[in-house]
Each structure stands twice: as structure tokens, then as C-alpha cells.
Amino acid sequence: MTENNHSSKSDEEWKKKLSPEQFEICRKKATEPPFSGGYYNCKEKGIYQCVCCGNDLFSSNTKYDSGTGWPSFWDSINKENVKTESDSSYGVTRIEVMCSKCNSHLGHVFDDGPSPTNQRFCINSASLKLKKMDA
């Protein structure tokens, strides 16, 4: 399988690679309960990667405590590494954030974040893996 072909995996292939929670969140667009994920309160330095394909998504340098119970970032590592689209599920229009490489559901982005971007990428811990770096 080529590096850019992750989104063509079948559900059965994803179920073999991911935990049940990761599968529901990343492939079926579920959301983990607030304050339940492993990274919402994480202070370690590193790069947050897509749990499905390893794409670099967010840096600990842009992570902040939004008080929402999910890992929050004021910017992505690279605009090409994430993509967004309108999400009207649950009767509310939001902007969904996905991995541009494998289409994994990551969370949502809102316009109530801190400077300099005023964005809050509200991301599910289960969709991430932290590649730790030395301080």
C-alpha cells in the first residue's frame, strides 16, 4: 500500500490496526467524552501525529488549555497536513478537522482560540499519538 492510500483501507483493515475507541472516533466520526482522553492535560513536548497514518498534525508548542476537556491547539504544524469541511451533524454547523493523508476524523476547529490565529483546534486524544521530543 502506498503512503497516500490510507483512506482506501476497509473498515475491517482499520479495525485490525486501531482500538475500538480509535476506530469509532477516527473512522466513524465519534467524539470521546471531555476530560477522558490521554492528551487533554498532557504537558510533554513533541509532535502530535495521526494515530492512523503517522502524519504530523500539531506541535506541543501550539497546545494550550482551553478548559474544554480536549487537547486544543491554536494552529496545525502545516496547513497541508490537515483539511477541514463543514459538519452539520447534531443540528449544529461546525468545521470538522481531518488528517489530509488518510481522512481520519480528528475533531473540530472553532474561532474562539488565542492569538495569533484565534483558532481552537479541539482534537480527540484517541486520534493522536505523541512523538515525544527532548525539552
Active site residue 52: no
Q: Which runs of E-coded beta strand occur in 9-132?
A: 46-50, 56-59, 63-64, 72-73, 82-87, 94-99, 105-110, 120-123, 128-132
Residue carrying the nine cell digits 515525544: 132
The helix/strand/coil state of 107 is strand
**Helix, strand, or coil (residue 56):** strand
How far is 39 from 77, CA to CA, in rounded Å?
Answer: 17
Q: Which entry of 26, 52, 53, 122 is annotated as an active-site residue?
A: 122
- Tell me the torsion sign for CA atoms 31, 23, 10, 97: positive
For strand 46-50 and strand 82-87, is the pairing parallel, antiparallel, or unpaired?
unpaired
Q: Catalytic amino acids?
A: 122
